[in-house]
């Protein structure tokens, strides 16, 4: 046997080949030499290597105090609630070199609300060597600065609007504008306006962009019948590129017919909308004019397009209403929705004790009226109206003999206290009155119209369903004399309708935190 012949040694059964073990160059701990980075253990790597050294620990963000929006550089303003995902994403985008590492987690740290500081805890990961992944957490402090956005700056500067919507109605009162104001507030249709100015005969709405004015126009067309005219004015032009800048004006005219108005329809129009009696009442204003014949309970609608082809004026309005006293009521079997056709005998309230003149008529208020009640209506007997449509009705063979002496409109509550304290309220829209400050007489007229509108809201359930009514939580402090006067007023009857508290909304603008 030759001793110099090389022989292979088989590995021992049950043993595995292991890597080389070395000592850490800093602390001397045994580590795996095949996977260590720079001959250091993981603890020493964490102490010597900082993967977040290129990321700043402090940054600045801008906040607009007028519209509560945050600046997204270079010139974008975004809405973000405190400690929201949107605000967290905005904070992360404000950090330099944050995209070079992998973000594992990010969360807000509570700070004092008045400190103008936002703290965010960020956890990142990055590779320090081949096969070695390191994770590190650190805090970033954001200093909140205030800066006014361009939209808010324009709202405080004159003559910066690009589109205006001029809403007008050729009537002597503002009842329709009161209803329109509540609809605008409920649907927040005025949120894009930069100014709202009250003018003679209507209201002007100013917008910074044309598309915002067009969106407001679509809202107006969806709630009331209107007629729109558009005009534009050239304000600047670039001769080299051909670019032009315009100001757009939209003239919006509301139909002159209001709720509870007496309308004398042209005979041709009355036949085209269902052959309704030409002398009717307007019981509702929506996207179209809704008419009612109180003698037959027949209803009809006049759309905005049909009305503006041949516009007409109402025969009489709410200032012409006369108070009557109900003597007798005989209901019939004719019903339609909430209306009950009844035969009523009434006498004018001013004639009681003077003469015994009574009037017989038909009305749609059979479910509301009883003997002794007061009701408001139009007195046609002996009245003189300057209307060609009414003259045509009187000369007609079919309708000349059907004109009643009295047309009743709505029930009246004479015992209702004036300026009573209601458990509900309506919000009002902030408007710039400008130089058109109301006189004392005009102020009294506006208060009377608003009081009449509040009474209509109390009496009509359908009208209340379309509006936003809020709870009136304010309590007036009264002295002893005022309390005694209130007690004497409570002794009288108040038969006016009341609104259930379940129909009211909570006004969050009045909610606050108070120290006990």
Q: Does residue 128 register a pLDDT over 80?
A: no
Three-class SS state of 61? strand
Contact 493, 414 (CB under 8 A): no
Three-class SS state of 251? strand
Three-class SS state of 43? helix
In which band, very low, low, confident or very high, does the pLDDT at 33 lie, cut at 50, 70 and 90?
low
Q: Does residue 327 register a pLDDT over 60?
A: yes
Which whole-number Å values give the CA distances from 149 to 59, 113, 116, 159, in the listed order?
20, 22, 18, 17
Residue range 184-194, pLDDT digits in tens:
999 999 888 88
Sheet with 226-237: strands ordered across: 193-199, 202-207, 163-168, 244-254, 226-237
Residue from 233, 171, 164, 232 nearest 203 by CA: 164
The pLDDT of 261-267, averaged and rounded, is 93
d(CA 323, CA 378): 9
Single pTM value for the model: 0.69
In which band, very low, low, confident or very high, does the pLDDT at 305 lie, cut at 50, 70 and 90?
very high
In which band, very low, low, confident or very high, does the pLDDT at 266 lie, cut at 50, 70 and 90?
very high
User: φ, ψ for residue 207 (rounded to 5)?
Assistant: -130, 155
Q: Does residue 326 register a pLDDT over 80?
A: yes
pLDDT score at 3: 42
Residue from 279, 272, 240 nearest 392 by CA: 279
Rounded (10°) CA dihedral 91, 96, 97, 101: -10
In which band, very low, low, confident or very high, does the pLDDT at 325 lie, cut at 50, 70 and 90?
very high
Q: Which helix (H) or strand (E) holds 107?
A: strand 102-109
The pLDDT of 47-52, averaged and rounded, is 80
Contact 281, 289 (CB under 8 A): no
Q: Which helix (H) or strand (E) holds 59?
A: strand 58-64
Q: Does residue 40 register a pLDDT over 50?
A: yes
Three-class SS state of 405? coil
Residue range 193-247, pLDDT digits in tens:
888 888 888 899 999 889 999 999 999 999 999 999 999 998 888 888 888 888 9
The pLDDT of 294-300, averaged and rounded, is 92
Q: Does residue 479 register a pLDDT over 50?
A: no
pLDDT score at 135: 86
Residue from 106, 389, 427 nearest 262 by CA: 389
Number of helical H runs and strand E runs in the chain: 11, 24
Rounded (10°) CA dihedral 71, 76, 81, 87: -70
Q: What's the burial of 35, exposed, middle or buried (CB within 10 Å: 0-12/13-18/19+)?
A: exposed
Rounded (10°) CA dihedral 408, 414, 415, 419: 110
Average pLDDT, the chain: 83
């Amino acid at each position: 046997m030759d001793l110099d012949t090389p022989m292979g040694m088989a590995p021992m059964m049950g043993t595995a080949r292991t890597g080389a073990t070395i000592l850490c160059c800093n602390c001397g701990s045994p580590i795996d030499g095949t996977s260590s980075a720079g001959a250091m253990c993981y603890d020493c790597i964490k102490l010597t290597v900082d993967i977040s050294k290129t990321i700043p620990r402090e940054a600045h963000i801008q906040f607009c105090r007028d519209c509560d929006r945050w600046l997204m550089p270079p010139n974008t303003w975004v809405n973000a609630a405190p400690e929201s995902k949107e605000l967290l994403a905005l904070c992360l985008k404000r950090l330099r070199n944050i995209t070079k590492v992998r973000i594992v987690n990010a969360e807000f740290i509570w700070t004092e609300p008045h400190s103008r500081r936002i703290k965010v805890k960020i956890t990142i990961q990055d590779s320090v060597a081949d096969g070695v992944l390191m994770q590190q957490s650190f805090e970033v402090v954001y200093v909140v600065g205030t800066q006014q956005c361009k939209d808010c700056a324009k709202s405080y500067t004159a003559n910066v609007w690009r589109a205006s919507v001029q809403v007008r109605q050729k009537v002597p009162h503002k009842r329709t504008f009161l209803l329109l104001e509540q609809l605008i507030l409920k649907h927040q249709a005025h949120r894009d306006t930069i100014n709202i100015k009250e003018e003679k005969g209507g209201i002007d709405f100013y917008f910074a962009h044309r598309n915002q004015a067009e969106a407001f126009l679509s809202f107006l067309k969806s709630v009331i019948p209107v007629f729109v005219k558009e005009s534009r004015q050239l304000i600047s032009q670039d001769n080299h590129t051909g670019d032009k800048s315009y100001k757009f004006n939209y003239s919006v005219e509301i139909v002159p017919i209001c709720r509870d108005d007496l309308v004398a329809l042209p005979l041709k129009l009355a036949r085209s909308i269902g052959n309704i009696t030409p002398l009717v009442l307007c019981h509702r204003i929506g996207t179209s004019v809704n008419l009612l014949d109180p003698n037959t309970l027949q209803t009809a609608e006049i759309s905005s397009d049909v009305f503006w082809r041949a516009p007409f004026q109402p025969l009489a309005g709410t200032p012409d209403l006369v108070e009557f006293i109900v003597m007798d009521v005989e209901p019939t079997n004719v019903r339609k929705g909430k209306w009950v056709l009844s035969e009523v005998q009434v006498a004018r309230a001013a004639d009681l004790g003077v003469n015994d003149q009574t009037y017989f008529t038909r009305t749609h208020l059979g479910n509301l009226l009883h003997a002794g009640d007061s009701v408001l209506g139009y007195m046609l007997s002996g009245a003189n109206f300057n209307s060609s449509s009414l003259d045509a009705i009187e000369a007609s063979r079919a309708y000349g003999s059907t004109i009643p002496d009295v047309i009743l409109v709505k029930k009246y509550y004479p015992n209702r206290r004036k300026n009573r304290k209601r458990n509900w309220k309506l919000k009002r829209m902030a408007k710039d009155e400008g130089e058109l400050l109301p006189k004392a007489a005009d102020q009294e007229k506006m208060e009377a119209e608003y009081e009449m509108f509040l009474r209509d809201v109390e009496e009509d359930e359908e009208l209340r369903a379309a509006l936003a009514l809020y709870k009136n939580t304010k309590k007036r402090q009264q002295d002893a004399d005022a309390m005694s006067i209130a007690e004497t007023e409570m002794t009288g009857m108040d038969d006016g309708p009341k609104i259930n508290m379940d129909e009211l909304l909570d006004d969050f603008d009045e909610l606050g935190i108070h120290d006990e």
